[in-house]
Amino acid sequence: MQQKIIILDFGSQTTQLIGRRVRELNTFCEILPYNKFPYEDESVIGVILSGSPYSVYDPEAFKPNLDKLRNRYPILGICYGAQYMSHLYGGKVEPAGSREYGRANLCDFKSDNPLLKGFVANSQVWMSHGDTITAIPHGWNVIASTDKVKYAAYQACNEKLWGVQFHPEVFHSIQGSLLLKNFVVDICGSRQDWSPASFIESTVAEIKSQVGNDRVILGLSGGVDSSVCAVLLNKAIGSNLTCIFVDHGMLRKNEFHDVMHDYECLGLNVVGVDASDKFLSDLAGVTDPEGKRKIIGRDFVEVFNAEAKKITDARWLAQGTIYPDRIESLNITGKVIKSHHNVGGLPEEMHLGLCEPLKWLFKDEVRRVGRQLGMPEHLITRHPFPGPGLAVRILGDITREKVRILQDADDIYIQALRDYKVKLKGEDARKVLAAGVPGNMTDSGEVEVSLYDQIWQAGTILLSTVRSVGVMGDERTYEHPVALRAVTSTDAMTADWAHLPYDFMAKVSNDIINHVKGVNRVCYDISSKPPSTIEWE
From residue 286 to residue 325, the character string flagging contacts with ligand XMP as x (rule: CB under 6 A) and all else as - is -------x--------------------------------
b/e map 357-378, b = 16+ CB within 10 Å: bbebbbbebbbbbbbebebeee
What is the spatial distance between Cα 188 and Cα 153, in angstroms, rounded to a whole number?
18
How many whole angstroms from its chain centre is CA 386? 14
Tell me which stretch binds ligand XMP (CB under 6 A): 50-58, 315-323, 502-510, 528-536: 528-536
Q: Closest approach of Cβ 392 to ligand XMP, in Å?
A: 6
51 binds ligand XMP (CB under 6 A): no
Q: Which is nearer to ligand XMP, 525 or 535 (CB)?
A: 535
From residue 103 to residue 122, the character string flagging contacts with ligand XMP as x (rule: CB under 6 A) and all else as - is --------------------
Q: Closest approach of Cβ 468 to ligand XMP, in Å?
A: 25
Q: Which is nearer to ligand XMP, 53 or 387 (CB)?
A: 387
Taking a C-beta distance cutoff of 8 angstroms, is the pair 62, 81 a contact? no
Q: Closest approach of Cβ 482 to ligand XMP, in Å?
A: 17
* Nearest residue (beta carbon) to ligand XMP: 387
Active site residue 248: no
Site residues for ligand XMP, 391-420, by CB under 6 A, read: none
Q: Closest approach of Cβ 143 to ligand XMP, in Å?
A: 41
What is the spatial distance between Cα 452 and Cα 486, in angstroms, rounded to a whole number?
9
Q: Which is nearer to ligand XMP, 152 or 259 (CB)?
A: 259
Q: Closest approach of Cβ 358 to ligand XMP, in Å?
A: 15
Q: Which is nearer to ligand XMP, 374 or 531 (CB)?
A: 531
534 binds ligand XMP (CB under 6 A): yes
Among the listed residues 169, 307, 365, 479, the single catalytic one is: 169
Q: Are strands 92-106 and 496-497 parallel, antiparallel or unpaired?
A: unpaired
Q: Which is nearer to ligand XMP, 290 or 475 (CB)?
A: 290
b/e map 178-194, b = 16+ CB within 10 Å: bbbbbbbeebbebeeeb
Q: Closest approach of Cβ 383 to ligand XMP, in Å?
A: 8
Taking a C-beta distance cutoff of 8 angstroms, is the pair 430, 445 a contact? no
Among the listed residues 79, 188, 229, 355, the single catalytic one is: 79
What is the spatial distance between Cα 54 and Cα 49, in angstroms, rounded to a whole number?
14
Q: Closest approach of Cβ 382 to ligand XMP, in Å?
A: 12
Residue 17: how many other CB atoms lie within 10 Å: 20
Strand, helix or coil for residue 190: coil
What is the spatial distance between Cα 106 and Cα 146, in angstroms, rounded to a whole number?
5
Taking a C-beta distance cutoff of 8 angstroms, is the pair 520, 479 a contact? yes
341 binds ligand XMP (CB under 6 A): yes
Q: Closest approach of Cβ 457 to ligand XMP, in Å?
A: 5
Q: Closest approach of Cβ 293 to ligand XMP, in Å?
A: 6
Residue among 86, 457, 460, 509 that touches ligand XMP (CB under 6 A): 457
- Where helices occur in 212-357 by DSSP H, the ranges are 224-237, 255-265, 276-283, 289-310, 323-329
Active site residue 169: yes
How many whole angstroms from its chain centre is CA 186? 28
Is the Cα torsion angle 487, 256, 227, 13 positive or negative in sign? positive
How many whole angstroms from its chain centre is CA 238? 28
Residue among 492, 498, 500, 513 that touches ligand XMP (CB under 6 A): 492
As a residue count, the chain comes to 537
Q: Which is nearer to ligand XMP, 222 or 388 (CB)?
A: 388
Q: Which is nearer to ligand XMP, 141 or 342 (CB)?
A: 342
Count of positions on this chain that bind ligand XMP (CB under 6 A) = 12
From residue 350 to residue 389, the character string flagging contacts with ligand XMP as x (rule: CB under 6 A) and all else as - is ----------------------------------x-xxx-
Among the listed residues 30, 100, 129, 167, the single catalytic one is: 167
Site residues for ligand XMP, 123-142, by CB under 6 A, read: none
Q: Which is nearer to ligand XMP, 11 or 388 (CB)?
A: 388
What is the spatial distance between Cα 132 and Cα 122, in angstroms, rounded to a whole number?
20
Residues 6+ apart with CB under 8 A from 219: 226, 243, 244, 245, 246, 304, 319, 343
Taking a C-beta distance cutoff of 8 angstroms, is the pair 160, 336 a contact? no
Q: Which of 8, 65, 15, 76 is nearest to 36 (CA)?
A: 8
Q: Which is nearer to ligand XMP, 148 or 529 (CB)?
A: 529
> Residues with catalytic annotation?
79, 167, 169
By the criterion CB under 6 A, which residues form the site for ligand XMP? 293, 341, 384, 386-388, 457, 492, 529, 533-535
